[in-house]
Amino acid sequence: MSILNQRIDIIAIVLFFLFAIFLEKNEAFSLAEDETLSYRQLLRTYNANEVVTSPSEDVVIVYTDEAFYEEYDMFPLRRVDLGTLVERLKYMGASVIAVDMLLDFNSAYGEDPSLTLAFKEAGNVQLVSQAEFDIQNNFVKVNKAIPAFADSTSSGYSNISSNSAVSAKIVRLRMYPEINEAVGEWPFAVKAAASYLGTENVSITNNILKLGDTLEVKLDRFNDLYIDFPLLPTDGKGGTVRLHEVVGITASDILFVDEEELEDLAFLVDGKIVLIGEVAEVAHDEFETPVGNVFGVEIIANTIATILRGGPLKPASLGLEIFLALVMMGGLLATRLLSEPLPRNAISFGIVFLYCSGVIWAYVSMGLVISMIYVLLASFTAIAVINIKYYLTEMGQKTLIKDAFGQ
């Protein structure tokens, strides 16, 4: 046999791993990769240090739910009452009041002037906007609130969607520096965190999100921020409570109480970021995440907390990813020295197990995000190639022996 035929499996394995590195660089299998991130996030949520898994104390959610609307006896929340919420939260000492409602149409009841006045008097209100993209995912424009509101508040876009075209699961927030360059907008959570820190100096340089001079958050090479979801108490029914039940206040407790009661509740919002949003099923603002279905305003709260903690989940560098892929390739190629299939495959799968364990441990304990699916695909392909090569070699030898004794 020629040297090429004897080494064809080595060439194939090297090409498979190089192709895996190429796919990883271009994030070709984001659906499968996000699934592995989901399971790793669950392990982190339940096993990591309590310091990073506990809900943030810097963010409070003022929510409207079914119980609120039953008491309120109408839907949706009137703008005059939204103005009252803003005024009272400002009175209670809220540092930032972030309203997760796209107010991009005029009120049919003439309530816009009173709400505009409430925004202006508060002076710390942020409204949500929506970034619009074309079919090729090129930025087109930002849909903002009506001019009267936009002129009296700041804003940030809140396009909560999956990074995969197939899966709806939310594991990270993608940032678009081109939107900031075009219209001066940052993601809603980024803008809220910057306002809380008292800075308008926000930038992304070399995949590093910078807020002022003190806070830096590492993003991946696509400018994605990995969201860290907190551990929530059990609900006694086999599940967990929602985030708004832990760090939230129903809008009823703000709207339907007197001034003295407001003062008693002030400590809950004083000096904090207050998100106003819907957690009612009728709002259809619920998304799938690694920790189950989560309301949009809760995802924003988790994202803000992740940013303020400096981005505990840090993507591994491409250099480290390539190094680990080459180590795996070298380890699997070394198993070619073993002709017996049982020990060879035992060692091969042992190497894969060690790789998976190491990647999971890095995520759970260190917050280091290392891609899994690409190396795993190349590794299983390499194991199959080695076994096929030995099988064909053995069949060839048996054929030679048969032909020799058959003469």
Per-residue pLDDT of the chain (407 residues; tens, 9 = 90+): 455 566 788 889 999 999 988 888 777 777 788 888 888 988 998 887 887 888 999 999 999 999 999 999 988 899 999 999 999 999 999 999 999 999 999 998 899 999 999 999 999 999 999 998 888 888 899 999 999 999 999 999 987 655 554 455 677 888 999 999 999 999 999 999 999 999 999 999 999 999 999 899 999 988 999 999 998 988 888 778 999 999 999 999 999 999 899 999 999 999 999 999 999 888 788 888 888 889 999 999 999 999 999 999 999 998 999 999 999 999 999 999 898 889 999 999 999 999 999 999 999 999 999 999 999 999 999 999 999 888 887 776 666 666 666 55
pTM of the model: 0.89
**Gap between the Cα atoms of 407 and 404, Å rounded:** 6
Cβ atoms within 10 A of the Cβ of 405, count?
Answer: 7
Q: Is 397 exposed, middle or buried (0-12, 13-18, 19+ CB in 10 A)?
A: exposed
Sign of CA dihedral 274, 188, 82, 63: negative
**Gap between the Cα atoms of 222 and 11, Å rounded:** 31
Host H or E run for residue 210: strand 208-211
Contacts with 211 (C-beta within 8 Å, 6 or more apart), sequence order:
190, 193, 194, 197, 199, 201, 202, 217, 307
- HSE, CB side, 13 Å, CA atoms: give it for residue 398: 6
In this structure, are residues 271 and 95 in contact, taking their beta carbons and an 8 Å threshold? yes
**Gap between the Cα atoms of 242 and 248, Å rounded:** 10
Backbone angles phi, psi at 206, to 5 degrees: 55, 45
Domain residue spans of the chain: 3-39+315-406, 57-308
